[in-house]
Amino acid sequence: MSASLLRPVAIPPHDTLKPRTPILQDAIEKADVLIEAMGWIREFRDKITVIKLGGSVMEDPEALRHLLVDIVFMESVGMRPIVVHGGGAAISRAMSEANIQPRFIQGRRYTDAATLEIVERVLAGEINEMLAKRIEEFGGRAMSLNFSGLASNNVLFGERLTLNGEDGAPVDLGAVGQVTRVDRETLDNLTYAGQVPVIPSMCETEDGQRLNVNADTAATAVARAVGAEKLVFLSDVNGVRRSKDDPESLIHSLSSADARSLIAEGSIDSGMIPKVEACLETLRKGVRKVHIIDGRTRHSLLLEIYTNKGVGTEIVGEPA
């Protein structure tokens, strides 16, 4: 190869370039964003990310729309997203329409036979199929994994959850369960085929009984079973803060040890404690990174995964 071909190309300094119009400047900034995202796209190609949908995000049509578009983008650039969802507010509305008073025990919905019928119809039926349909409307491919139709394609299996009360006696939660087995083969086949699995937070016992499951713990079980690179919890706050009332005090990255220290010193308190403790338990079970982001922020999922700084809190496990 001649020396002339190896000679660096002289690039004129910015101040000698033709002045940029606002339209050109906007286009350049968009290209810069794509270049920043490129490295992360390459790193996470073929990696599984489990996304837990629930809470106020499910009640905000615009926030939900942007999140589902983000999920379609992730699948389009080679990531393998899996959605696990709850639907507590919709279930409570349906119970109110049926004149059934909700009961919560240790933060879990008591589920008798009438409540279970509503949970299955609303959560595993209406919401689950709506999410899959919306993903496809935005150009993605999705598969609703529930109990509907003649052939169930449920992928979560489990057993009744047993909790102890303050006196140590067992607490009756009704048809409430915990996941003990995940059908990984089905999930792997779907994600490799470019489909987004959409999973309601219910499980089935080996003898066919259906149980209501906490969505956070269901998402954790799925992330662990499939060896996920990331588990993303969508929250109503922008992540873990040094001062809980100051959004500007957001901590972008935490080690497990740092998170435990912040709990001990009181910087992480009240409702954020169980969520962070769930993240730490997830890391102990083999998931590499857990994210807490504000699902109400437009495109928060893409901003967290495909930008250098992110918009939420990333909690990482201790080095092996």
Residue in the structure block whose two tokens are 């490129």 = 38
pLDDT digits (tens, 9 = 90+) for 144-203: 999 876 567 999 999 999 888 777 788 889 999 999 999 999 999 999 999 999 999 999
pLDDT for residue 13: 53
- The answer, yes or no, to whether residue 270 has pLDDT greater than 90, is no
Q: In this predicted structure, what is the pLDDT of residue 1?
A: 45
pLDDT, tens only, 47-106? 999 999 987 788 899 999 999 999 999 999 999 999 999 998 899 999 999 999 988 887
For residue 3, what pLDDT is reported? 44
Could you tell me if 284 and 317 are in contact, meaning their C-beta atoms sit under 8 angstroms apart?
A: yes
Q: What pLDDT is stored for residue 277 in this prediction?
A: 83
Residue 32 has pLDDT above 90, yes or no: no
Domains of the chain in start order, with CATH, are 44-316 (3.40.1160.10)
How much is the pTM?
0.85
